[in-house]
Amino acid sequence: MGAVLMRKMGWREGEGLGKNKEGNKEPILVDFKTDRKGLVAVGERAQKRSGNFSAAMKDLSGKHPVSALMEICNKRRWQPPEFLLVHDSGPDHRKHFLFRVLINGSAYQPSFASPNKKHAKATAATVVLQAMGLVPKDLMANATCFRSASRR
């Protein structure tokens, strides 16, 4: 169909494309994917479904803690984590928030409040990831450096 349209515009087989006829002479080959498996990036390997989940989620650096926690719950086929606002204090212009996370029947809560709700949720998610052994304990010392979920 494409060749018919090109011939109507003056193109002849064996000629290159473009004003000076120096472009591509061969058509672009299309590779159709026939299986129902997802696309695999270069260097990425398929992971076994059974076995140690922490090995599958070893590299969480660069991910927002709430997103990483959601991924882990999804992979382990758990209900999504439930974030509950436990405490908010301070004047309206300078509140501090504390969230508790309910996950797989257990509750986790950080020991300190955060200056905004987004940071408080991220801190609570980090506490859960630390309890699971997926994030080092020293991350809380640098708790203000969470990566934004919208920035890549």
Structural domains of the chain, ranges and CATH numbers in brackets: 65-132 (3.30.160.20)
pLDDT values of the chain reduced to their tens digit, one per residue, 152 residues: 788 888 888 878 888 888 888 888 777 777 777 766 666 655 555 554 444 444 434 556 678 999 999 999 999 999 999 999 999 999 999 999 999 999 989 999 999 999 999 999 999 999 999 998 888 877 554 444 454 444 44
Q: Terminal CA-to-CA distance of the chain, rounded, Å?
A: 40
pTM: 0.56
The predicted pLDDT at position 11 comes to: 79
Q: How far apart are CA 121 and CA 99, in angstroms?
A: 6
Confidence at residue 19, expressed as pLDDT on a 0 to 100 scale = 82
Q: What is the pLDDT of residue 137?
A: 78
Please enumerate, as own/partner, the contacts of 123-131 that have beta carbons within 8 Å and a separation of 24 or more: 123/65, 123/99, 124/83, 124/99, 124/100, 125/65, 125/66, 125/68, 125/69, 125/81, 125/101, 126/65, 127/101, 128/69, 128/81, 128/101, 128/103, 129/60, 129/65, 129/68, 129/69, 129/72
